[in-house]
Amino acid sequence: MKIKIFDVKQITKYVIKNSLKRIFLYRACLVRLKLMGVKKVFSYTLANETGVTADQVRKDFSEFGIKGNKRGGYEVEELLEKMENIFHRNKDHNLVLIGMGNMGLALSKYSRFVQRNMNIVATFDIDPFKQKIRSDIPVYSMGRLKEIIDRFRVKVAILAVPEISAQEVADELIRFGIKGIVNFAPVLLKVPADVVVNNVNLCDELESVIYYVHKMMKVDGLKNIEILYRDMKY
């Protein structure tokens, strides 16, 4: 299948902002507080729970149009409702998933998607054997991709294919009207300026944690040497 070559391609200009990531943390905190029966919350409470400053919380809220009273705080229920609107949780979102290897299979079975109104309506794979996988979600050949995207008015796709085919599949998805891609392939996709890509690389995430663990161990080791040297002096 010949893939359309776009006139303008670039590493996506849309970056998932840290402020948006923090909104997720605030929401998780608010859900816990609501379950505890808390009716009102202050910025410093959310700051303590999420490891940022109260000023940062207020700045993040301001960016997303959330207003509150510095002295009176925020109503928990009202704040959660505003966050639901930010993430368009008041309506269902149909998704497609490309690639039914180990990663794709695990993602297709993740129940939290449905809980957050995100429905994987179909999965796709080039392997005929994987198209016979018994699942609540049908597995189709790539030849039916456009049909399914059009039928369910899908705008967001999950990409869980090998690195070598990721760009080609992304091109096809965009050609069929996809505007957002969550990319699990270890490659930066080049896409038109009006397409959003969020790259998720689990190996990078793990290596980041490993880096900081060793960095802390090194610092702790130096502190222990300093204490030992001090004890030896006295």
Of 14-18, 19-23, 153-157, 206-210, least confident by mean pLDDT is 14-18
Span 43-83, pLDDT tens digits: 888 998 888 898 999 888 888 888 776 677 888 998 998 88
CATH of residue 187's domain is 3.40.50.720
Domain shared by 188 and 164, yes or no: yes
Q: How far apart are CA 195 and CA 155, in angstroms?
A: 10
State the Cα torsion 136-139-145-147 to the nearest 10°.
-60
Q: Which of 86, 105, 137 is the last residue of a domain?
A: 86
Q: What is the pLDDT of residue 5?
A: 44
> Is the model more confident about 19 or about 141?
141
Domain shared by 190 and 205, yes or no: no
Q: Which of 30, 55, 86 is the last residue of a domain?
A: 86
Is 105 part of a structural domain of the chain? yes
Domain shared by 111 and 188, yes or no: yes
What domain count does the chain have? Answer: 3
Tell me the whole-structure pTM to 2 decimals.
Answer: 0.75
Mean pLDDT for the stretch of residues 185-195: 92
Is 5 part of a structural domain of the chain? no
Q: How far apart are CA 107 and CA 124, in angstroms?
A: 13
**Looking at the predicted structure, is the pLDDT value of residue 13 above 70?**
no
Domain residues for the domain of 188 are 94-200
H-type alpha helices, the chain: 18-35, 43-50, 54-63, 76-86, 102-108, 112-115, 145-152, 163-175, 202-233
Q: How far apart are CA 113 and CA 120, in angstroms?
A: 8
Domain shared by 184 and 127, yes or no: yes
**Looking at the predicted structure, is the pLDDT value of residue 7 above 70?**
no
Domain shared by 206 and 196, yes or no: no
Q: Are the CB atoms for 123 and 139 separated by under 8 Å? A: yes
**Looking at the predicted structure, is the pLDDT value of residue 8 above 70?**
no
| pLDDT classification of 232: cutoffs 50, 70, 90 | very low
Residue 139, burial from CB neighbour count under 10 angstroms (0-12, 13-18, 19+): buried
Contacts of 176 (CB under 8 A, 6+ apart): 145, 146, 149, 150
Q: What is the pLDDT of residue 148?
A: 96
